[in-house]
Amino acid sequence: MPVFLSHKLEDTTQTIRIKTFLEGEGINCYVDTLDPATKSTDDLTKLIMDRVKACTHLMAVVSNYTTQSWWVPFEIGVGSELQRRITSYKLSTVDLPEFLKKWPILASTRDLESFVEFYRRDQTVTPLERKYRAATVQSSDQFHSELKGALRQFR
């Protein structure tokens, strides 16, 4: 199932790099700035909520620009309410708000590789995406806890 890449417009180039990396690993991604429907809808809020609902994971791409965003916190809130697997990818040394520290924080290609490993173990993804691994992640809490452990984020 797709990963919703939440980001501020100014971070689109870096978000597309993350999308390209993940898709190279066989993981489908959704980026709203690439969705023509966002330009033609009268109800952007409903469209974004529907897109988050269609995804199993949400990755917030965070930079200094994100502090000026209304949409990124909204998308994270929708994902949290739906118990999606949530991560942040830090593009800069921005100080993350406390609520984002609840979930795993990625900051490098190596961290993305760890994300891919746990994504493939997740029961919310198809067996093909899972690559038939025996060990599975069965809940969003387990996903967050185990990925944070792999990233040595014991907070």
Q: Which domain holds residue 29?
A: 3-107
Closest to 27 in 3D by CA, of 150, 141, 120, 133: 120
Mean pLDDT, 10 residues at a time, over the chain (155 residues)? 92 96 95 82 88 95 92 94 95 86 94 93 64 67 88 82
pLDDT score recorded for residue 143: 86
pLDDT digits (tens, 9 = 90+) for 100-114: 889 999 999 999 999
Give the CATH number, domain containing residue 103: 3.40.50.10140
- pLDDT tens sequence across 68-96: 999 999 999 999 999 999 999 999 888 88
Using alpha carbons, select from 123, 97, 113, 101 the residue that is nearest to residue 150.
113
Q: Is residue 11 part of a domain?
A: yes
| 151, two tokens | 């990233």
Provide the edge-to-edge strand list for the sheet that holds 57-62.
29-30, 3-6, 57-62, 85-90, 105-106
Domain count of the fold of the chain: 1
Considering the domain boundaries, does residue 152 fall inside one? no
Question: Is 66 within the bounds of a domain?
Answer: yes
